[in-house]
A = this chain, B = another copy of it.
Amino acid sequence: MSQDPLVVFTPSGKRGRFPVGTPVLTAARQLGVDLDSVCGGRGICSKCQITPSYGEFPKHGVTVAADALSEWNAVEERYDQKRGLKSGRRLGCQATVQGDIVIDVPPESQVHRQVVRKAATARVIEMDPATRLFYVEVEEPDMHEPTGDLERLARALRTQWDIPAIDTDFAALQTLQRVLRKGHWKITVALYKASDSATPRLVAAWPGLHETGLYGLAIDLGSTTIAAHLTSLETGQVVASSGIMNPQIRFGEDLMSRVSYAMMNPGGDAEMTRAAREAIDTLARDIAAEAQVDPSLILETVFVCNPVMHHLLLGIDPVELGQAPFALATSGPLELSAAELGLAALRPSARIYILPCIAGHVGADAAAVALSEEPGKSQDLVLVVDVGTNAEILLGNTTRVLACSSPTGPAFEGAQISSGQRAAPGAIEAIRIDPVTKEPRFRVIGCDLWSDEDGFWDRTAETGITGICGSGIIEAVAELRLAGLLDEGGLIGSAEQTGTTRCVPEGRTHAYLIHDATAEGGPRITVTQGDIRAIQLAKSALYAGARLLMDEMGVDTVDRVVLAGAFGAHISPLHAMVLGMIPDVPLDKVTSAGNAAGTGARIALCNTASRREIEATVREITKVETAIEPKFQEHFVAANAIPHKTDPFPELAKIVTLPKVAFNTGGDREGGGRRRRRA
């Protein structure tokens, strides 16, 4: 039989016949099988490792003989001795086809491998990084035919990698000569390809075969914190995660006070830009040090952020975002270099990608949530809420996606709450109030026991009980309502009205005492009437925003709710529903997506095609501006009641019965309907 041997690749199933002697890498390339190689088949990078399978494969109609691949050659022997080749593995560029063969490409050898997130959701990221490594051997300069080093490198990429042309980052050019000579004309270059059709851009070069990796940063630049994931651009693995406070806080706690700062102080925007960039530099250096990665190996950074942070990062005065019509300088995606963005910790030629903004109040962070949660691919109608100082809200299914932002203010983060504090050890994060005794029990961050369990006080002695964090205050308010200590209008009852001395007078109103540590020099932790009002304002804004999108969609209910944001991960769905933060759905239809914006940034970092995808999605999203919708105010006022003045919560009613209490004795109600300024 004169037929060429059949080569079957798994897991792709791609197959073809190749002449005896064809290297497996060559066969893979011709079939379009995803098999990595940095050195171009020279047997030095080991990226093209494959696992041959022997025996009967009825599924493929193949019988693989023991000699279906060439014997180990000297290159493989040497590599195995030096580095060790996993049992059963071969180098795809060295092993040649001798007979019918089934070849498995293990995930480590795939460029487009899939990275499964640790989190609960099934979303996987397919690797498709914009930056790739190419090992080349460049001709030495010749006086008789003088050409520049760069031109000879371009020629080598053309002949050795079929890359017809490259652009060159100026900073990369400045160091090229040294690298070429240090590598004795054998170097590895990193080429960045913005899109399928773009000309690859030379961004870095190293002498010889570069084996110390290639990294990217996914940065969620928030108003309060800046969080980064240092990610391998080869494997997609997060090698370190870290966060830092946004130093712009000294110019204003919330976004609007920062915009005001820029308005009132000439050069104030530049000051804030400098502060943010310096913090990013610090974060980049710290996270690289933590992972023991040279910062010069960070070749890409993806940013997600709200529009004000977006402009301040870019060095654009955010003043237009502080007033109607909230015009962005640009809503499109941005691609630039670390040098252009003035980031000193990174290689000047490192590429920066900033996701597009959806609207003047709905930023690249919301776009990242959309990329991560994909409401537009959901069959059922999903409401995605990213809870923070501003809530970004997405509503959609396969027919349509809507977006808005709503000015919830910082109450959900424990700010502007009398005993509020940031989530840190010692902060009450969960609380239950006995409906009969009206006594509380609680849990604090740093200890997994409840306060009525044995050992709680010993275990928390070091941190003490210091305050209430965002999720704690939501539970506290909801528990007060469930225990009949708080009425629908949001009034805390007096000790007389409620029958518990935990309800203590505080001026003309009442507060609920959770824990008094003053005897030990600690704080007295209460939920005051003012705290209730702050939470009411926040939750009303959130609910009103969601309701506005539901109006626009023409629906009264949604099928499921996704809570995004680091805070969203800690919110108890039951308590959120009692509070009326989110529309009524069965409790098991409320899920947490964790830091969806950060996940979106990671996806964009690891998968170039996803950038085009979210750019297209953002263009198609229907933007709803809460500030100018008259119905927003109406929804806001109706949502002030706990859980709601008019909307029924039938799913909630199936689980709990809210006590019908009313503590308003006819006195003035203070401020419950006050509309918060945008923040």
Contact = CB atoms under 8 A, between A and B. Distances in A.
A436 B8 CA distance: 99
A532 B336 CA distance: 58
A627 interface: yes
Interface string A334-357: 101001100000000000000001
A174 B327 contact: no
Contacts of A627: 143
A274 to B, nearest CB: 14
B151 A332 contact: yes
Given A324-B143, A360-B146, A151 B331 contact: yes
Contacts of A328: 146-149
Contact of A148 (B148, B331, B336): B331
A516 to B, nearest CB: 49
A487 to B, nearest CB: 37
A625 B146 contact: yes
A244 interface: no
Contacts of A170: 314, 334, 336, 340
Contacts of A360: 141, 143, 146
A330 B141 contact: no
Contacts of A475: none
Interface residues of A, number: 45
Interface stretch (A113-121, A213-221, A315-323, A418-426): A315-323
B329 A150 contact: yes
B330 A173 contact: yes
B143 A177 contact: no
Given A177-B320, A320-B177, A331-B148, A143 B340 contact: no
Given A336-B170, A340-B170, A176 B146 contact: no
Given A148-B357, A170-B336, A336-B170, A176 B329 contact: yes
B332 A150 contact: yes
A656 B143 CA distance: 41
A377 interface: no
A142 interface: yes
A450 interface: no
A364 to B, nearest CB: 12
A359 interface: yes
Contacts of A336: 170
A325 B177 contact: no
A330 B151 contact: yes
B325 A141 contact: yes
Nearest to A326: B143
A148 B330 contact: yes
Interface string A12-55: 00000000000000000000000000000000000000000000
A675 interface: no
Nearest to A315: B174
A145 B330 contact: no
B326 A146 contact: yes
A178 interface: yes
A628 interface: yes
B142 A314 contact: no
A324 B316 CA distance: 49
A660 interface: no
A142 B325 CA distance: 6
A510 interface: no
Pick from A142, A150, A177, A359 the residue with the most CB of B within 10 Å: A177
A508 interface: no
A168 B178 CA distance: 32
Contacts of A83: none
A334 B171 CA distance: 13
Interface string A173-190: 110111000000000000
A623 interface: yes
Contact of A141 (B148, B327, B623): B327
Given A148-B331, A177-B320, 5 more contacts: A146-B326, A148-B327, A170-B336, A173-B329, A176-B329
Give the top 3 A-B pairs by smallest Cβ distance, nearest first. Answer: A148-B331, A141-B327, A146-B359
16 contacts: A140-B325, A143-B625, A144-B625, A146-B327, A146-B360, A147-B328, A148-B327, A148-B328, A148-B329, A148-B332, A150-B331, A151-B331, A170-B336, A173-B330, A177-B329, A339-B340
